[in-house]
């Protein structure tokens, strides 16, 4: 009888040990990085530029507060002509071809209030954060309503908004720049098949970025509405859209972030807005620029 009476107590202890062990497995500083030298010599300039800019080291530092159950590798490599980025099996791969298209898409002078350096950095950081979102959704078994691609976009935008206001604005403007090719005309023609894609159309993603940012800070991003970039009827609901994202972040993401490391990570580290990026003169293939997983 004495042994039988102890069984429930022993089971509770074993369960507590399992929970404790699981909690201990969630550790910060689980990000590894790798620059893979490209096979195609035409991609050598991209490889050299991102290494010179310490792009992966900066992302590694920024992401160290994430508590993960196992290590996550972020790498850049030659993808045999494919312009893409994806997460799979604990590895985020960003192709040099994709980064090259971003580089080629940078304007030669400030355009629409966006500095050339931000038109490069914003989309570059976005592609890494977007794929990191897929990774952490997998690691944390995050419940998601709607399409995961939309949630990954929201993760990236919300992450950018955690920076100092000046840097957040630069990142948001740069992020939105990658969709410019689709919104320069008041009428956009899309094939029916495009609407079957798991990603939103470039135009939708553009307005989503602006809306979440405006909803977060209608003063800092008030010119989005004043200039007509963000339609007033959409802007009216942007505070609610932002609050939806913020609420999901607070409940599903924030508990997995080391708060001490977070305070150290969100420091000013963007290059001066006046800095001119090295020119990449070839034109980008905008049709494949947004074709990422």
Tell me: the pLDDT tens digits for 26-70?
Answer: 999 999 999 999 999 999 999 999 999 999 999 999 999 999 999
Residue 203's nearest CA partner among 221, 222, 188 is: 188
pLDDT tens digits, residue range 173-185? Answer: 999 999 886 666 6
Separation between Cα atoms, residue 141 and residue 218, nearest integer Å: 33
Separation between Cα atoms, residue 153 and residue 130, nearest integer Å: 6
pTM: predicted TM-score of the whole model, two decimal places? 0.86
Position 19 in a domain:
no
What band does 19 get if pLDDT is binned at 50, 70 and 90? very low
Q: Check pLDDT > 80 for residue 293.
A: no
Position 8 in a domain:
no
The number of domains in the chain is: 1
Position 254 in a domain:
yes
- Report residue 48 as tokens: 């050299």
Q: Convert 170-183 to b/e letters by CB count within 10 Å (16 or more is b).
A: bbbbbbbbbbbbbe
Residue 161's nearest CA partner among 152, 173, 149 is: 173
Position 139 in a domain:
yes
Q: How far is CA 268 from CA 13, 109, 164, 202, 283, in A?
A: 46, 23, 7, 29, 31
Separation between Cα atoms, residue 216 and residue 112, nearest integer Å: 21
Position 152 in a domain:
yes
Looking at residues 198-212, what average pLDDT do you find? 90
Position 4 in a domain:
no
Q: State residue 88's pLDDT score.
A: 97
Range of the domain at 138: 27-278
Position 14 in a domain:
no
Position 201 in a domain:
yes
Strands 91-95 and 85-88, sheet pairing: antiparallel
């Amino acid at each position: 009888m004495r042994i039988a009476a102890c069984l429930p107590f022993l089971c509770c202890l074993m369960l507590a040990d399992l929970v404790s062990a699981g909690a201990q497995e969630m550790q910060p500083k689980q990000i590894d990085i790798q620059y893979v030298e490209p096979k195609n010599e035409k991609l050598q300039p991209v490889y050299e530029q991102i290494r010179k800019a310490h792009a992966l080291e900066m992302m590694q530092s920024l992401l160290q507060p994430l508590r993960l159950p196992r290590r996550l590798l972020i790498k850049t490599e030659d993808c045999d002509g494919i312009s893409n980025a994806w997460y799979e099996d604990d590895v985020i791969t960003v192709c040099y071809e994709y980064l090259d298209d971003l580089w080629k898409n940078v304007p030669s002078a400030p355009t629409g209030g966006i500095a050339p350096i931000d038109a490069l950095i914003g989309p570059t950081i976005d592609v890494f954060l977007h794929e990191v979102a897929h990774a952490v959704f997998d690691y944390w078994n995050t419940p998601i309503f709607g399409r995961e691609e939309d949630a990954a976009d929201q993760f990236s935008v919300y992450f950018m908004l955690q920076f100092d206001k000046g840097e957040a604005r630069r990142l948001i403007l740069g992020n939105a720049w990658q969709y410019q090719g689709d919104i320069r005309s008041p009428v956009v023609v899309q094939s029916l098949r495009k609407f079957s894609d798991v990603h939103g159309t470039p135009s939708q993603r553009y307005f989503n970025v602006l809306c979440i940012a405006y909803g977060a800070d209608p003063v800092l991003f008030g010119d989005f509405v004043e200039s007509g970039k963000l339609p007033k009827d959409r802007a009216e609901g942007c505070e609610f859209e932002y609050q939806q994202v913020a609420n999901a972040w607070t409940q599903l993401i924030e508990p997995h972030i080391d708060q001490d490391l977070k305070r150290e990570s969100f420091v000013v580290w963007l290059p001066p807005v006046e800095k001119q990026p090295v020119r990449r003169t070839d034109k980008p293939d905008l049709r494949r620029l947004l074709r990422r997983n």
